[in-house]
Every structure is written in structure tokens, then in C-alpha cells.
Homo-oligomer: A and B are copies of this chain.
Amino acid sequence: MNNQDRAICGDAEAIYAEIKDAPIVSPHGHCDPAWFCNDAPFDDPSSLLIKPDHYVFRMLYSQGVDLADLGLGDAGAGRDPRAIFRLFASNWHLFLGTASRRWLDYSFKTVFGIEEELSAQTADRFYDRLEACLQSEAFRPRALFEKFNIEVLATTDGALDNLEHHAAIRASDWSGRIVPTFRPDSVINPAHVRFCEDVRVLGELTGEDTGSFDGYLRALRARRVFFKAAGATATDHDVSDLYSEWLGEAERDALFKQAAAGSLGEADAVRLHGHMLIEMAQMSVEDGLVMQLHAGSVRSTNRKLLEAYGPDMGADIPKSVDWVHGLGALLNRVGNSPDLTLILFTLDESTYSRELAPMVGHWPALRLGPPWWFHDSEAGIARYFDRVVESAGYWNLAGFNDDTRAFTSIPARHDLWRRGVAVHLGEQISRGRMTRADAGSIARLLACDLARDTYRLGAG
């Protein structure tokens, strides 16, 4: 029995026992489908555990570690992965108390079977063990997928992606279920750096005239059909300034023309993006793709890092979000529709009880996503239940998703969630708010059933 197991007792322990081995439904995340297509061994421990994990390298960077020394960017190309791992290990104390340490600890112990504690002294033994694992058959992507008991895993894919790896997986004799997710940011957000070029390519790919708004919509529909045929059940949208507005036809056409020409101003770009979100929601009503909205991350706030290393370097910072006004126009067009499922993700925890629980407890189309990013942690999960359930209940939530690009952290993240669910429900019982039987039902719901149902992933 490890420390974490000792921390759960009574009803919570029994509930955890009932759900800990439930299959993993992972309806949103950022794994690379190529892993499962090629089933090649992962390169090395640092490429698997450190370089793709912005939680890890942002913490190291905050304490003075150079990103290049972690093998990132052009400057970091060719760094010795063992040296990278040693550097990480010698800073392992920085992660005390963080969610990252929980996830990594779980992976080390449960996935890789390492019992000792990581430190500068044990770094080499860790590295040897991890390396040996990764070279074995049992740690190939498909084998891990099966070991992790993953029922279905959704990736996130640009609107122009050819989904070749998804196609190859489906064509293969492997039965693992990997589905794509339609992420059209670059073709619906005029502020996106690749908007003009991607809208042009969108036209080529679909044979539609994306010079006209109608052709552009037809092209988007065509891509959604393509994604759906490849197994997609959802779309995903990143929104920094949450805003929606239904534009009149003439204005919409005019703004789109300017956007396609790269001459749209910043304020109008927000408006056109706000219109396109409604178009996307309306297409979801038509085609049944579940819509996800991840709002409120200010991207790449560190310009020096953006220039040297590109986006996603740990400098995305949350900001306040006004859900009521931001989504007003969208909801008033489609929020009453029984055919739409729109899942909201926030990084602004003050909105949990103020706006989001009340909103998902009213609008038929809405579901509240699980704690996201910085809040997908033990205390973050506790705050989420504390602030959300009394207004929203459980059935207006979307279950859990791990949202990770760190494949081996997937079981760790679902385990942390399930422990959080068990602790929450144990407390519900001990406070007299719920019977043990009801708590057991809710536990199964939150562990995987709700995610499967919300994302319409029931049928393979």
C-alpha cells in the first residue's frame, strides 16, 4: 500500500476500488496518432517524459534552467537525452506539491515499476530502467494502450489534416480505437497566423471556392464529413477572447473577404471568429459532432520564447472570462437545441460557481468540462466538485478527459481524477448528502460513462 492509497479510507476507499480499474475513456487529448499507426518504440525517456511536457519544462525554466539544456528548440537539438534526464532529476524537488510530480510518480511506479525515489543520485538508474522498458515490446504504443485499458482515445487534429495515421490504424488488424477531433482554429479564426493560407488550402482540399463565404462554409462542412467518416465525434475550439455574434449576411461577407485577403483589423477578426463559432455550433446541430470550447488562455505571453522556440512553451497564461456575454449570441441561436452538445472548459475557477454551474444547469445544449490544464490537480478537482455540483448536479458535467500529450501520464491522470471522485463522494456520504448506493452510481458515471455518453463515443 502506497502513501496515496493510505490517504483514501472508508466509503471513499470502497468507491475507489469499484472504479479504479474501469476502462479509460479519453475523449480529448493531444497524443500523436502516428505512435499507434507505426507502433515504433518511443525514442528515449527524455523525449517521452520531458520534452513534450510543458508542465515539466515550464517549472524548470521558472527556476533558471535553459530550455535548450532540456533539448528544446533548434538550440537544444542533439542534446544527450541522459544529460537532459539528469538535469531534470537534480531539480525533482521543485515539483514537490505539484500535479506534475503526482503524474510522474505514478508513471514511474505503476507504468515502469520503479520503486525508489527520483533524485540526482538515482537519475542514472532511473534512466537505465526507463530506457530498457522503452526498448521492450511491452512498451510499444499499442501494448501500452492495451495495458492502460484504454477503450477509446481521441486525438486533436487540424482541419486540413489528412488523417492518414487514423486511416492506417483503422485499416490495420489492431483493434485499438483512436479517433480524430476536428480542430479548425486556423481556418475559422482570422487572427490565426496561418488563416489566409489555410483557408486557401481548405479550398484546394475540398474543391470548393473558399473565396466566397458560401463556398467556405461548404468546404468546412466537407472537412467535418471527412473527419466524421474517420471516426471523429467531436470538434474543438480554442478561444482567447470569448465572443460570439451573429453577423448579417452583408457584413459577414465583407469581413470574410477582408480576412481572406489578410486585411481584417483586430476587432473585426474577433467578430468574424465569433460568427464562425456560431456557424460551427449550427453545423454541430446538423451533423451531431460534439463541440468543445476551450476559452481564456492568453497564448505565448513570453515573446522571446515564442521567437526562439515557437508556441506551447509554457508561457500560456489564463485570464478572466465572461461566459454570459461571450456566449450570449451563440446560445440564443442554438443553446436550446436538444441536438447540440457544447462542452465548456474554463481556466478561470471563479466562473465555476458564478456563471458556469448556473449556465450548464439551464441550457440544454451545455455541459461543463472537467478541470482543465492548471486545475487538473487534486485540489483543483476538489474545488471543481465543491463549486459546481450544488448548482449543476452531475449530469450536466462532461466527465473527465486527460487533455495530455504525455502518453504515459494518461493512467496517472485518470487515476487522480478517480481518487478525487471517490474522496468527493465519500464526503458526500459522510455529510449525509447522498446514500452509499447513489454514490456508487455517480462514481461509475464520473469515471467513464459520462465521458462516453457526452462525447457520443458509445458505438465503436
Interface, chain A (partner B; CB < 8 A): 2-7, 58-59, 61-64, 93-99, 102, 298, 301-305, 314-320, 322, 324-325, 328, 331-332, 335-336, 338, 347-350, 353-355, 357-364, 366, 374-375, 377-380, 383, 386-387, 389-396, 428-435, 438, 441-442
Contact = CB atoms under 8 A, between A and B. Distances in A.
Given A59-B393, A96-B442, A317-B359, 16 more contacts: A4-B433, A7-B432, A64-B364, A95-B393, A97-B389, A97-B393, A98-B393, A301-B331, A305-B336, A314-B362, A316-B358, A317-B324, A320-B320, A348-B350, A350-B354, A379-B386
A187 B4 CA distance: 54
A434 B324 contact: no
A432 B94 CA distance: 17
A49 B57 CA distance: 48
- The number of times this chain is found in the oligomer is 3
Contacts of A394: 96-97
15 contacts: A3-B435, A4-B432, A62-B396, A63-B364, A94-B395, A96-B438, A302-B363, A315-B362, A319-B324, A320-B322, A320-B350, A353-B375, A374-B390, A377-B390, A380-B390
Nearest to A63: B395
A422 to B, nearest CB: 13
Contacts of A93: 395, 438, 441
Contact of A354 (B6, B59, B318, B432): B318
B319 A332 contact: no
Nearest to A296: B354
Nearest to A391: B374
Given A348-B354, A362-B315, A387 B379 contact: yes
Contacts of A63: 364, 395-396
Given A94-B393, A390-B97, A358 B317 contact: yes
A78 B373 CA distance: 49
Nearest to A360: B62
Contacts of A441: 93
A208 to B, nearest CB: 33
A185 to B, nearest CB: 20
A364 B61 contact: yes
A50 B124 CA distance: 60
B7 A320 contact: no
Contacts of A393: 59, 94-98
A5 B338 CA distance: 40
A389 B380 CA distance: 11
A40 to B, nearest CB: 33
A61 B362 contact: yes
Contacts of A354: 318-320, 347-350
B98 A62 contact: no
A-B pairs, top 7 by smallest CB distance, nearest first, are: A3-B432, A4-B432, A7-B432, A377-B390, A350-B350, A97-B389, A7-B431
A177 B387 CA distance: 36
Nearest to A374: B391
A390 B361 contact: no
A249 to B, nearest CB: 21
A431 to B, nearest CB: 4
A358 B160 CA distance: 32
A58 B324 contact: no
A429 B7 CA distance: 9
Contacts of A360: 62
Contact of A433 (B97, B336, B353): B97
Contacts of A428: 97
A319 to B, nearest CB: 5
Nearest to A350: B350
A353 B349 contact: yes
Contacts of A61: 362, 364
Nearest to A438: B96
